[in-house]
Every structure is written in structure tokens, then in C-alpha cells.
């Protein structure tokens, strides 16, 4: 793939594109800031128009609360008014309600009367670590205590040092629930571990992130022609027959996760002083495979899942894979001169701009059908700000680590 000399300058260096990106970030903040706060604690889920879906006894899931904290900590760091209040609202709900003061750890979901699902999930705990790390950089007074607490819980309850990854889930009292092991929770923990390393300087976090990447990508994805396996048994043997749930553990493979890993691997390479060259090699392979196998060559967009013969199974096009693809392309463009990544960075934004961004109501459409008409089989309303906000802001900052870290380093250089 080539670009004409007249149009070859990277978009990320162009003032108009930079303005476009910041405008998208601001519109996302506008959409989620104005109606998300639940006065009873936590945050509302929002419908397509940005109104709370439930206003009486709403269920609050931990990944939603923690992602809001992370994103509005980013808002605080870039100077978005109103962000600190939202960070504080979310942090206090995590600490006072999601945290289990009897058994330790953080429960999955609550309503106004208490726990709805009191299990302890590795996926949720990864996002608590991310929220605490981001809140620390934003200066929240609870951040240090939460960071210490969640680190102890992950180390004591979830981390399996023999394999270099986390166990998946436990009952409220830490008794075992099944033998499932999953890559998704480990992928998000990799993101959170890098953020914790940047917030504290403690290399133990970075070492864990590198070990997870070695297991999930260096061992398993590499052996599967750079398709990321999702589901394993307790011995980390791939379970191709696993059916799971459509929302959190869909069967087969999920190209959006290949893209998410692509960015995380480049980020991990940078934070690790660029000593592990296999990380960037793998990032390129994952990105190319996601395009070759996951991109719909008729309508555009990434199929949600593929089977092990690389055929689409869940043919919906969700907002988050294209968001993750944009972030991955931005990182790869910064370190690889192959015009392939520049071309795809533009194509991905073309797709988002023409099909995913909701200019009338705000936010990004969560789900499109195969033909790109709006759908709602999997998602109701607009689930969260996390993926789209990072897609909008990552290209604006140097690819030197997590977005929060890059914002701080850029501001320090300016002042």
C-alpha cells in the first residue's frame, strides 16, 4: 500500500486532524458527563440519547464504575472541567460499596440495596487497578490506599506465579468457581499493570505484564498464526469447544482483542526500554491478521467473532474493535514506516466517522448489523466512554506508554 506524495504526511501531524480528535474527545465527555452520575452512588448506563436507562435501583457493575474513573482522570489531566468531581464520585463508590470489607476484594455488581453479584472476578479487579493508578496520577486522596489494597488482592488471590497469569474467578468468600482461565481478564490486567508501573515506578508490575504477554501472545497466539485464543482450562490448554456467553466470553476468537493486544504490546515494549523485540514483531502480526481475517471486505467494519476456520460467527460490528484498531494503528505508525499502517489509520477513522460516530445524539453507536445499519441485539444504548475516548486521544500524544503517562510527560515538557 502506498500514499501519494501530495497526501503522504501523517494525519496525526496535521492541525485539522488534531482538532478533529480533540473535538471527538470533548463530545464524548459531554455525552457521558452530563447524565451519568447516579446520586445514590456509581453511574447510570445511558441510552442512545444519553439519558439514564434505569433511574430506580440501577445495577452498577464494577467495570463500568472503574472505567468512568479512569476516563475522567484522563479528563482531569488534560484540563476538562468537572472531571475531578466524577473521579471522586466513582472512587468513593468503589471504595465504600464495591470493596468487600469482610473477605477482601471487590464485588462485581450492586444496586441500591447491596450486592447483586458478589463474585470476585479477575476482569473487574484489573479495572480497579487501572482506576486506582489513573486516579493517583490525577491526585485523588483515596488512590494510594486503593492501589495498595488492589495490588495485595491480585497478588494474594489471583496471581498464579507458576504460569505468569491470573486465575479467573472466585465466590465471595474466595472459594473456587470452576476451572476456567481466560485471556480477556489477563489482557486488561496487562493494561492496568503498565498503568500501575507508571504511577508508582514499581517494576514488579511491569514484570507481571511481560509474563502475561509471553503466555497469551508469545506462546499461544504465535502458535495459532497470531490469532488470540480466548478460552483455556486450568492448565492453560486451549479449549476450542468453549461456548461461554455472547457478551463477556463469546466462543471462537475476537479480532478486536487482537487489535487491543497490538497496541498493548508496543506500549509494553516502550516501557520495557525496547529490549524485547518480539513484542513489536507480534504487534504487527496481530494487526495484519485482524485486518486480513476480521475486516468485512464487503461492508467494512470488524466482525465481532470468528470460528477456528476464520469464518465470521457473530457478524455484528461493534464500536470498540474499531476504537482499539485506531489506537493500535497510531502506535504502529509511530514506530514503523510501512505505509500500510498509515493507510489503515485513515481507513479506520473513515469508518468511524461515517458509520459509528453519532453526530445527532452524541457518543458512538455501540452496535451495527452486518450491513452497517444500527443494531441492538447485544447492547442497549451506549455502554461506556472508555474505548472511544482512548481512540480519540491516543493519537494526540507521544506513544511512550499509557495515555495518562503520555499526557503528564507532554505537559511537563511544555512547562
- Strand-pair partners of 238: 232
Say which residue the cell 503466555 belongs to: 215
Residue 257 annotated in active site: yes
Query: Which is catalytic among the residues 70, 98, 257, 405?
Result: 257
Buried-state track 252-290, b at ≥16 Cβ within 10 A, e below 16:
bbbbbbbbbbbbbbbbbbbbbeeebeebbebbbbbbbbb
Residue 98 annotated in active site: no
Q: Which three cell numbers stand for residue 5?
A: 506524495
Q: Which residues are CB-neighbours of 161 under 8 A, at least 6 positions away?
A: none
* DSSP secondary structure, 28-74, as one string: HHHHHHHH-B-TTSSB--B-TTS-BS--SS--EEHHHHHHHHHHHHH
Query: Which is catalytic among the residues 63, 70, 387, 405?
Result: 387
Nearest to 381 by CA among 358, 354, 348, 353: 358
**Alpha helices by DSSP H, 247-385:** 255-271, 277-289, 319-335, 339-351
Q: How far is CA 9 from CA 3, 21, 198, 398, in A?
A: 9, 17, 31, 17
Torsions phi, psi for 61 (to 5 deg): -95, 145
The set of catalytic residues is: 257, 387
Amino acid at each position: 500500500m502506498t500514499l501519494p506524495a501530495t497526501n503522504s504526511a501523517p494525519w496525526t501531524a496535521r492541525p485539522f486532524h488534531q482538532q478533529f480528535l480533540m473535538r471527538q474527545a470533548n463530545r464524548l465527555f459531554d455525552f457521558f458527563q452530563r447524565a451519568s452520575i447516579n446520586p445514590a452512588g456509581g453511574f447510570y448506563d445511558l441510552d442512545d440519547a444519553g439519558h439514564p436507562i434505569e433511574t430506580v435501583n440501577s445495577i452498577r457493575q464494577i467495570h463500568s464504575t472503574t472505567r468512568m474513573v479512569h476516563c475522567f482522570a484522563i479528563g482531569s489531566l488534560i484540563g476538562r472541567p468537572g472531571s475531578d468531581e466524577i473521579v471522586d464520585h466513582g472512587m468513593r463508590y468503589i471504595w465504600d460499596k464495591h470493596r468487600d470489607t469482610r473477605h477482601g476484594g471487590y464485588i462485581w455488581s450492586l444496586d441500591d440495596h447491596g450486592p447483586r453479584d458478589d463474585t470476585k472476578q479477575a476482569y473487574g479487579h484489573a479495572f480497579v487497578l487501572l482506576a486506582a493508578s489513573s486516579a493517583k496520577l490525577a491526585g485523588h486522596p483515596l488512590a494510594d490506599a486503593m492501589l495498595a489494597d488492589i495490588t495485595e488482592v491480585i497478588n494474594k488471590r489471583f496471581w498464579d506465579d507458576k504460569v505468569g497469569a491470573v486465575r479467573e474467578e472466585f465466590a465471595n468468600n474466595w472459594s473456587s468457581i470452576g476451572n476456567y482461565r481466560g485471556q480477556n481478564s489477563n489482557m486488561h490486567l496487562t493494561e492496568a499493570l503498565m498503568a500501575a508501573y507508571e504511577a508508582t515506578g514499581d517494576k514488579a508490575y511491569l514484570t507481571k505484564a511481560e509474563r502475561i504477554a509471553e503466555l497469551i501472545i508469545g506462546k499461544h497466539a504465535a502458535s495459532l498464526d497470531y490469532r488470540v485464543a480466548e478460552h483455556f482450562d486450568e492448565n492453560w490448554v486451549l479449549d476450542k469447544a468453549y461456548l461461554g456467553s455472547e457478551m463477556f466470553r463469546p466462543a471462537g476468537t475476537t479480532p478486536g482483542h487482537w487489535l487491543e493486544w497490538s497496541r498493548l504490546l508496543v506500549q509494553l515494549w516502550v516501557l520495557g526500554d525496547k529490549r524485547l523485540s518480539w513484542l513489536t514483531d507480534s504487534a504487527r502480526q496481530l494487526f495484519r491478521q485482524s485486518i486480513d481475517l476480521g475486516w468485512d471486505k464487503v461492508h467494512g467494519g470488524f466482525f465481532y467473532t470468528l470460528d477456528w476456520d476464520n469464518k465470521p460467527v457473530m457478524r455484528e460490528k461493534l464500536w470498540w474493535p474499531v476504537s482499539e484498531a485506531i489506537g493500535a494503528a497510531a502506535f504502529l505508525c509511530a514506530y514503523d514506516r510501512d505505509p500500510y499502517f498509515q493507510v489503515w489509520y485513515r481507513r479506520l477513522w473513515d469508518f468511524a466517522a461515517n458509520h459509528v460516530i453519532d453526530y445527532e445524539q452524541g457518543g458512538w453507536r455501540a452496535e451495527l448489523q452486518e450491513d452497517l445499519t444500527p443494531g441492538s441485539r447485544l447492547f442497549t444504548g451506549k455502554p461506556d466512554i472508555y474505548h472511544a475516548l482512548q481512540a480519540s486521544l491516543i493519537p494526540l500524544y507521544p506513544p511512550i506508554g499509557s495515555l495518562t503517562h503520555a499526557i503528564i510527560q507532554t505537559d511537563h515538557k511544555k512547562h
